[in-house]
Amino acid sequence: MRAQPRGRVARVALLALCVSAASAAERFYVALENSDEPTWDQVADVFERLGVDRRGAAALVDEMNAKGAALVIEGSRRRCNRAASLFRELGMRAAVHSSASLPSSSFAGPHVAQLDESTIRAALGGGQLWLLQFYAPWCGHCKRLSPAFNAAAALSAPAGARFGVIDCDAHPQLCKAAGVKGYPTLKVATGGVIRADYAGGRSTAAMVLFAVAQSAIAGVGRVVGGALRPLVRTLGLRRAPQR
């Protein structure tokens, strides 16, 4: 299907994830499957009624073409039921399910550590640069980031950079303390401290370039600092008095 197709909507398996804003315990999604019936304009109109503009709907169509599924909408149980009803009116099969039926998604991996309150302090205290992803298991954007994040972790490992993930559903206080307000949030930690948000690109290449460069800078700082301290002690150098 083209981004703005003129013909009928191709067969799709669209997952519309709906998360209750009122209660974190209630999460739902609408599963839309295999329909040749509606036109592009009809589908785009439904998305607009649900708060997704045509540009966003076109991007979702592109993603459906590439992956066969897309996670698109957040809302309440009531909104999910309404969304399912609107899509059914177009002849599309739609069903509302609880988040418990969402397929599990692996965020940790061979080069990505799963961290929590009991492990994060010891992990970050090792002296390496860490790139941390704070996620929710139901978050579609988090799931789409996961392959690139894991690939970047593997490619950055030889440079000494470390990657970790924190499940904010399971550890909400840890995420709150880190200032997490949305998912996924990426943060940088050095010297045992979470210092800043990661503001770079989220492609594998962008994360690798950042992690390798910052690890090199941190490594030089540790080496130079470690080398200078004995010299300073030997020479008896002291800070010049302020005038």
Active site residues: 139, 142
Question: How open is the CA angle 88-47-17, to the nearest 5 degrees?
Answer: 75
E-assigned strands of the chain?
Answer: 13-19, 27-33, 93-98, 112-114, 130-135, 162-167, 185-190, 193-197
Pure H helices in 5-49: 40-49
DSSP-assigned beta bridge partners for residue 27: 19
Report the 10 Å Cβ neighbour count for 108.
17
Residue corresponding to tokens 């005038």: 243
Chain-centroid distance of CA 223 in Å reads 33
d(CA 165, CA 186): 9
